Structure 1
Amino acid sequence: MTAARSAGAITDQAASVAAAVWSALGTVRDPELDDSLTELGFVSHHDVTSEGKAVVRLRLPTYFCAPNFAYLMVADSYDAVSAVPGVTKADVRLEDHFAADAINTGVAARAGFVESFRGEAAAELDELRAGFLRKAVLAGTDRVCRALVASGVDPARLAELTLADAPEGPDLWRLIDRRHELDLPCRDSDALIVDPATGEAVAPDALRTHLGLARATRVSQEANSGVCRGMLAARYPDSTGENHH
């Protein structure tokens, strides 16, 4: 193989790995908004060197976004990128954030949130993550149930339905994914509407209250997402949710 062909092969391989890195970043979500970082426009740069080093830069809507949320996104991005075949090293950093140094140093050292914010943080972020996942299950339940009611299903019958009764599509798949992450029942035969804290099916007499909470959670989540997208666009006019090299 000539030197030119060898260089071309290396470039093609790096581009292929970079595409896989972008796909991996698409699996990382803002914990509060339950949307992917790539869709939200939070990834400002990603690239892979010929040696396999993945370079990723993240940005958030404001300089003062909550450091615990930011830490989760940077740590999850680091894990997702590091797992991509062909990546030999991950260099994932948050930019333009008041706690960027502590977050970036802690994530790179695999130190955990408490150690990264020694003297300030009292606990790791597992419960925070679980709490947002429970909200994602509520919001997802509302989306699926709204589609069922729109198709003619009597709202009073929703408590009788299973996951197999829901229409196939992104909303159902997303709901099942979130339930799976919480170790909630997610087989076809399992109840469509469950308490996200326990996994127990919601009883008919509690259905109206539960669906009201689910709707409020979805509306709040979508409103927050809209606000964050608007603030990011104001801060970074080039933020479109597309791939940035």
Structure 2
Amino acid sequence: MTTHADVIAALDTVRDPELDTSIVELEFVSEATVSGAGVARVRLRLPTFFCAPNFAFLMVADAYDAVSAVPGVTQTEIVLEDHFAAPTINEGVAARAGFVRTFDGEAVDELHELRAFFIRKAMLAGQDRVARPLLADGFTPDDLARATLGDVPPTDDRERLRERRRELGIPADDQAALLVDEHGAPITPDGVPLHLRRVRSTRVNIEANTGQCLSLLAARYPDMVKESR
């Protein structure tokens, strides 16, 4: 029988596209239940009433797909709450209408490129997370230019970087170059210093936005966010 834990595990695979963080970790999931008949119901909330509707749509649609794929789930209901476009998004996702049909007359493209744009940013930020420890261990810029993913110690950050590269179709095996641009082209030795500044700036920006969103969520739902935050 499908359990609450199964539904949460599925939702944990859904990320805020801009923050590259699970909606479960971000506490965007306010409620998740599953009945004995396999009917899964999930309620989502966001940090502000005016969070970008394209980001909101992606998270609701991804949550629908993830929960629907759980073995034993017979029906999925994902409800976004307290958002200015919630009725439109909830209806569109339930109808599997896609972003353009959901926002008929307002949207002109689906969100594939937007999703890819943020995965590329996450991939760049991931390079900073794995390259900085190597620099601290004595790697030079030339060393980094020659380094492969297999040269990086096995950590969660390395595996997360591999996953983002796979999502973009960029080589992610042990022999693949560690430092690449957003399209997968290896960084030359001369380009390493500038690339390191870029990936660090990207990581800092994502982490700053994450902190701001967490603060806004805690302020908006003070009685529902973990006290440890």
**TM-score normalised by the chain length of structure 1:** 0.90
The corresponding residue for 1:231 is 216
The offset of 1:52, in angstroms, is 0.4
Structural mapping, 1:50-61, within 5 Å: 50-61=36-47
Q: Any conservation in 2 of the 1:17–1:87 contact (CA below 8 Å)?
A: no
The corresponding residue for 1:79 is 65
Structural mapping, 1:23-172, within 5 Å: 23-172=9-158
The corresponding residue for 1:179 is 165
The corresponding residue for 2:207 is 222
76 and 241 in structure 1: CA distance in 2 versus 1, 3 angstrom threshold: farther
Q: Any conservation in 1 of the 2:17–2:55 contact (CA below 8 Å)?
A: yes
The offset of 1:240, in angstroms, is 2.7
**TM-score normalised by the chain length of structure 2:** 0.96
Give secondary structure in 1 for the equivalent of 2:16: coil
Question: Aligned partners of 2:96, 2:225: CA distance in 1, in Å?
Answer: 29
Instruction: Give a deviation string over 1:48-79, Cα, whole Å, max 9, x none.
Output: 01110000000000000000000000000000
Instruction: Give a deviation string over 1:13-69, Cα, whole Å, max 9, x none.
Output: 3xx522111001001000000000000000000000111000000000000000000
The offset of 1:149, in angstroms, is 1.1
Task: Name stretches of at least 5 consecutive residues in structure 2 with no aligned partner.
Answer: none
The offset of 1:125, in angstroms, is 0.3
The offset of 1:152, in angstroms, is 2.2
Q: Any conservation in 2 of the 1:55–1:91 contact (CA below 8 Å)?
A: yes
AA partner of residue 192 (structure 1): L
The offset of 1:156, in angstroms, is 3.2
The offset of 1:241, in angstroms, is 9.9
* Bigger CA radius of gyration: 1
Q: Any conservation in 2 of the 1:163–1:190 contact (CA below 8 Å)?
A: yes
AA partner of residue 215 (structure 1): R
Q: Which has the higher contact order (CA 8 A, sep 6+)?
A: 1
Give the aligned length.
Answer: 227
Identical-residue share of aligned pairs (%): 59
CA-atom RMSD, angstroms? 1.3
